């Protein structure tokens, strides 16, 4: 049976193009028309560079495939079309033969990030369950250990007392860790009130500058038109403090932390099965440190992922959980020149929350 692939081609849910030998667009599917905001007629027969831009990552990937590479995949590249930015996408180019290549783009939508953020939330839930069990299993023997160390202390020389002090201190450290992990389970969104994010950022900045970020230089750019968000001020404060702490720890000698707020009333998020949600409040915390280590980049929001000798790896897991509890999103961009965490939050809509 001979089968026409045309309906399948047209129905592909992501933009796809066939590019002929001289870089001419030979075919486009429906999703490509939507993504590029141009019709088939406008695109067929025209040069790809005319739309994608000379020297663009897309042109480069196509040239590599036409030059002999079987398949080229670029992750998270900036894609433009007709001089307009179209956001980040994964770009894949595969050779079809005779100089022809198939160009596919997988745009990274905010919904995609939201999905990931929900995944982190599940990770946090599994931590909560484990924490409850651990807390129970660890606390009792721990109390026994520090109690016994205290009893021992009485009959010992000063030198040996130092050792019992180590036992007590370390037992306390384990106890603190258990409490911190356990806090995951107990924390919900709590009381929801209107929160002025600039007050929160100021409080976090003052705490940071007086302590762990004393060696950092702060810059900010606040959008004064931002209305209050809906949530718990204390929890949002923890979010900002965790981000500032990571930024300060990434630059142990000195560095710059830039905090920017923006109001984008157009930003909407739609998830399957849920009504679309508006997340117009954006907070960005950027540092000029060395960037997140590639080995953990995909898992930074997972609990217990840390590259620090004394880190618990719970900071960003907590950030992610609090943001999910607030109906918001967190994502991050990082390279060798620094790291930026971006928070998107909803607006306070009166008592209906």
Ligand X SMILES: Nc1ncnc2c1ncn2[C@@H]1O[C@H](COP(=O)(O)OP(=O)(O)OP(=O)(O)O)[C@@H](O)[C@H]1O
Q: Per-residue x/- mask for ligand X, residues 203 to 242, rule CB under 6 A? A: ---------------------------------------x
Binding residue count for ligand X, defined by CB under 6 A? 23
Closest CA to 198 of 216, 222, 230: 222
Two tokens, residue 343: 């928070």
Mark the segment that binds ligand X (CB under 6 A) among 87-95, 125-133, 136-144, 301-309: 301-309
The answer to whether residues 190 and 235 touch, using CB atoms and an 8 Å cutoff, is yes
List 200, 300, 322, 329, residue binding ligand X (CB under 6 A): 300
Report how far residue 38's alpha carbon sits from residue 27's, in angstroms, rounded to the nearest whole number.
13
Give whichever of 11 and 297 is closer to ligand X, judged by the CB atom: 297
Contact assessment for residue 106 and residue 24, using Cβ atoms and an 8 Å cutoff: no
- Where does this chain bind Mg ion (CB under 5 A)? 246, 315
Specify the residue, 30 or 170, whose C-beta has the smaller distance to ligand X: 170
The single residue listed with the structure tokens 């929890």 is: 235
Beta bridge partners of 73: 92
Return the number of the residue (196 or 306) whose C-beta is nearest ligand X.
306
Site for ligand X in 249-288 (CB under 6 A): 250, 287
Asked if 201 and 283 count as a contact pair (C-beta separation under 8 A), the reply is: yes
Taking the complex as a whole, the smallest distance from the CB of residue 275 to ligand X amounts, in Å, to 31
Give the three-state DSSP class for 109: coil
Q: Taking Cα atoms as reference points, which of 103, 107, 98, 106 lies closest to residue 58?
A: 103
Choose between 277 and 306: whose C-beta lies nearer to ligand X.
306
- Given the rule CB under 6 A, which residues bind ligand X? 242, 246-247, 250, 287, 289, 291-293, 296, 300, 305-308, 311-317, 339
């Amino acid at each position: 049976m001979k089968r026409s692939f045309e309906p399948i081609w047209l129905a592909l849910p992501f933009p796809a193009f066939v590019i002929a030998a001289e870089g001419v667009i030979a075919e486009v599917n429906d999703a490509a028309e939507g993504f590029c905001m141009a019709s088939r007629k406008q695109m067929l027969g025209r040069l790809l560079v005319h739309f994608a831009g000379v020297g663009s990552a897309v042109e480069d990937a196509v040239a590599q495939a036409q030059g002999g590479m079987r398949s080229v995949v670029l992750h998270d590249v900036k894609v433009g079309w007709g001089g307009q930015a179209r956001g980040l996408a994964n770009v894949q180019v595969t050779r079809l033969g005779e100089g022809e290549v198939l160009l596919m783009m997988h745009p990274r939508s905010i919904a995609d990030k939201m999905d990931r953020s929900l995944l982190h939330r599940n990770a946090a839930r599994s931590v909560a369950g484990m924490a409850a069990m651990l807390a129970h299993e660890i606390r009792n023997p721990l109390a026994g250990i520090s109690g016994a160390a205290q009893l021992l202390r009485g009959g010992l020389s000063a030198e040996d007392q130092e050792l019992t002090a180590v036992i007590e201190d370390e037992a306390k450290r384990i106890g603190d860790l258990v409490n911190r992990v356990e806090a995951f389970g107990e924390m919900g969104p709590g009381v929801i009130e209107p929160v002025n994010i600039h007050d929160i950022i100021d409080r976090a900045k003052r705490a940071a500058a007086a302590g762990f970020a004393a060696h950092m230089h702060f810059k900010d750019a606040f959008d004064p038109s931002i209305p209050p968000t809906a949530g718990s001020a204390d929890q949002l404060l923890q979010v900002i403090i965790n981000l500032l702490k990571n930024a300060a720890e990434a630059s142990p000698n000195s560095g710059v932390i830039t905090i920017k707020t923006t109001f984008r009333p157009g930003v909407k998020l739609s998830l399957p099965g849920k009504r679309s949600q508006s997340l117009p409040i954006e907070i960005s915390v950027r540092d000029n440190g060395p960037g997140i280590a590639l080995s953990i980049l995909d898992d930074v929001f997972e609990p217990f992922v840390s590259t620090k000798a004394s880190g618990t790896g719970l900071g960003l897991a907590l950030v992610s959980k609090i943001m999910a509890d607030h109906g918001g999103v967190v994502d991050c961009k990082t390279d060798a020149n620094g790291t930026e965490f971006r928070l998107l939050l909803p607006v306070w809509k009166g008592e209906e929350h």
